[in-house]
């Protein structure tokens, strides 16, 4: 008996320890749809090299589907019409809140290699506002709907400062992206704007000041639908991404080329916590 148990343990250990070292090739076809943060052409150039890599490694065929509407993507996920997608932290948390079948496989590192990112509230130079509490009667530039560093992060930061994104005579406007939001502040279109801290720092030489920040939040992740993807498929994809070489990643799009690390749902607790702080949550905006 003892020997049998030992043997079993040994076998199990061997099995589990062997998993990372063994390339899984489960095959099959997976429907992949990214969030429509960019145009389809741009998204294809970003993701297709990575998907080709994954196909080679896992023998999984990826069926590309572009859905230009963010909500439609989420809905399609919930209807099991999409197996795998690329989500920012806020969209993931929102989705996971509605449907627990979704699981993050990997996070992608930021350009600086960090696994997380913060969101920043920026202003221009010495024109003020200098602090989040100064954001009263300001024109706020946001990245885009569903962006973590957009309404959500700015709301959190303003809420922490006792301010409201749409209160105290503040008004917000979606600029269409982090750079655009920041450059809107540079151009004087916005008084403040929300954007990734790293991007804000990049614009520091243009006079952009970070007056507040929030985070860290996990980076973008590949999110799998457990209902439609097998465990082998998820494992295989994760493993392949974790083991991709630098040279391989250099061919991928910008969000993915800095490397990936294993993700799990607990990584999003900080965001959930901040989200709970918002009474109204994040409005459904198009």
Partner 1 sequence: MNRLLRRTLLILLGATLPVTLLFFAFHTRETEQRLEVNFAQIEAAYAGVSMGYKEFADVVSDWVVGDPEVIDLLHQIQEGHDIARGLLYRHIFPLYDSLRTKHVRQLQFFAPNGRSILRMHAPERSDDDLSHIRPLMMRAMATRKPTSGFENGRLMSGFRFCFPILDGQNLLGGVEVSLSFTAIQRLVEREVGNTATVRFLLERDDLMRSTGDDLRDAKPLFDSLYLASALHPEYVTENFENPLFEEPIVKLPNHAATLENRIGSDRKVTAAMDEGEAFARHVCNSLTDCFFVNGLPIHNDRGRVSGYILAYSRDEQYLERGLAVLSAFGLAILLLVGVTLLGVRLQLTRQRLNTLSEHVGKGIYVLDRNGNISYTNPAASALLGYSQEEFIGRDAHDMFHAYSSGSTVSADECPIRCVTEQGKVFQGDQEVFRSKDGTHINVEVTASPIIEAGETVAVVTVFADIRERLTREQQLRQTDAAVKAAVEGVLITDTQGKIVAVNPAFTRLTGYEESEVIGRKPSLLSSGRHASEFYAAMWQDLLERGTWQGEILNRRKNGSIYPQWLSISAIRDIDGRATSYVGVFNDISDLKEKEDRLFYLAHFDSLTGLPNRRLLRDRLEHAMARAGREDSMLGLLFVDLDRFKQINDSLGHEAGDQLICQAAERIGDGLRHEDTLARQGGDEFVILLEGLTDPQTASVVAMKLIDAIKPSFRLRGFEDQSVVVGASIGIAMYPQDGADASTLLRRADAAMYVAKAAGGNTWQHSNEDSAVFAEERLQLESELRHALDGDELVLYYQPKVSLTKGIVEAVEALIRWQHPTRGLLGPDKFLPLAKESGLIIEIGEWVMQRAVRQIVSWENAGITDPRVYLNIDGSQLMRDEYPSKLLDTLRSAGISPNRLGIEVTETAMMGRADGNIAALKALREQGIALSIDDFGTGHSSLNRLKRLPIDTLKIDRSFIRDMVDDPSDQAIVRATVALAQELGLNTVAEGVETEAQLTMLRKMGCDAIQGYWIAKPMPASKLPAWLADKPNIETRFRAQTPKGLAAPAGKR
User: Interface residues with partner 1 (CB under 8 A)?
Assistant: 38-39, 41-42, 45, 124-126, 179, 183, 186-188, 199, 202-208, 250-251
Chain centroid to CA 236: 21
**Using CA atoms, how far apart are residues 119 and 199, in angstroms rounded to an integer?**
9
Q: What is the DSSP letter of 148?
A: I
Rounding to the nearest 10 degrees, give the CA dihedral for residues 58, 231, 239, 269: 140
**Using CA atoms, how far apart are residues 29 and 51, in angstroms rounded to an integer?**
12
Q: Which is nearer to partner 1, 41 or 276 (CB)?
A: 41
Closest approach, Cβ 66 to partner 1, in A, equals 14
Q: Which is nearer to partner 1, 203 or 238 (CB)?
A: 203
Closest approach, Cβ 198 to partner 1, in A, equals 11
Q: With CA atoms as reference, report the closest residue to 36 among 219, 239, 169, 176.
A: 176
**Using CA atoms, how far apart are residues 286 and 282, in angstroms rounded to an integer?**
12
**Using CA atoms, how far apart are residues 77 and 84, in angstroms rounded to an integer?**
8
Q: Which is nearer to partner 1, 150 or 253 (CB)?
A: 253
* Backbone dihedral region for residue 206 (phi beyond 0: left; psi -120 to 50: alpha; all else: beta): alpha
Closest approach, Cβ 92 to partner 1, in A, equals 25
Number of residues that make up the chain:
286
What are the strands, taking DSSP E only, across 95-231?
102-108, 116-124, 139-142, 171-174, 192-196, 208-218, 221-225
Closest approach, Cβ 205 to partner 1, in A, equals 5
Closest approach, Cβ 90 to partner 1, in A, equals 24
Q: What is the DSSP letter of 75?
A: H
Q: Which is nearer to partner 1, 20 or 39 (CB)?
A: 39
Q: Which is nearer to partner 1, 198 or 242 (CB)?
A: 198
Closest approach, Cβ 34 to partner 1, in A, equals 14
Closest approach, Cβ 195 to partner 1, in A, equals 11
Q: Which is nearer to partner 1, 202 or 272 (CB)?
A: 202
Q: With CA atoms as reference, report the closest residue to 191 among 118, 144, 117, 131.
A: 131
Q: Which is nearer to partner 1, 51 or 105 (CB)?
A: 51
């Amino acid at each position: 008996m003892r020997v049998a148990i030992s043997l079993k343990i040994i076998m199990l250990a061997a099995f589990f320890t062997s998993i990372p070292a063994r390339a899984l090739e489960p095959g099959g076809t997976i429907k992949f749809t990214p969030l429509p943060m960019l145009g389809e052409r741009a998204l294809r150039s970003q993701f297709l090299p990575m998907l080709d890599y994954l196909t080679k490694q896992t023998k999984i065929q990826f069926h590309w589907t572009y859905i230009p509407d963010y909500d439609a993507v989420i809905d399609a996920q919930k209807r099991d019409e999409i197996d795998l997608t690329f989500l920012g932290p806020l969209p993931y948390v929102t989705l996971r809140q509605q449907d627990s079948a979704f699981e993050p496989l990997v996070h992608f590192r930021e350009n600086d290699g960090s696994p997380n990112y913060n969101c920043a509230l920026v202003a221009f130079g010495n024109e003020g506002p200098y602090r989040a509490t100064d954001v009263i009667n300001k024109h706020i530039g946001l990245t885009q709907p569903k962006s973590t560093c957009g309404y959500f992060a700015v709301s959190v930061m303003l809420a922490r400062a006792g301010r409201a994104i749409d209160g105290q005579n503040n008004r917000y406007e979606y600029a269409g992206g982090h750079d655009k939001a920041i450059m809107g502040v540079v151009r004087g279109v916005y008084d403040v704007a929300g954007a990734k801290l790293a991007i804000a720092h990049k614009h520091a030489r243009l006079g952009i000041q970070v007056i507040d920040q929030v985070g860290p939040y996990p980076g973008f992740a590949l999110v799998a639908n457990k209902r439609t993807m097998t465990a082998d498929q998820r494992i295989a994809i994760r493993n392949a991404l974790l083991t991709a070489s630098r040279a391989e990643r250099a061919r991928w799009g910008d969000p993915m080329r800095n490397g990936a690390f294993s993700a799990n749902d607990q990584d999003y607790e900080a965001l959930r916590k901040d989200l709970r702080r918002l009474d109204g949550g994040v409005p459904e905006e198009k």
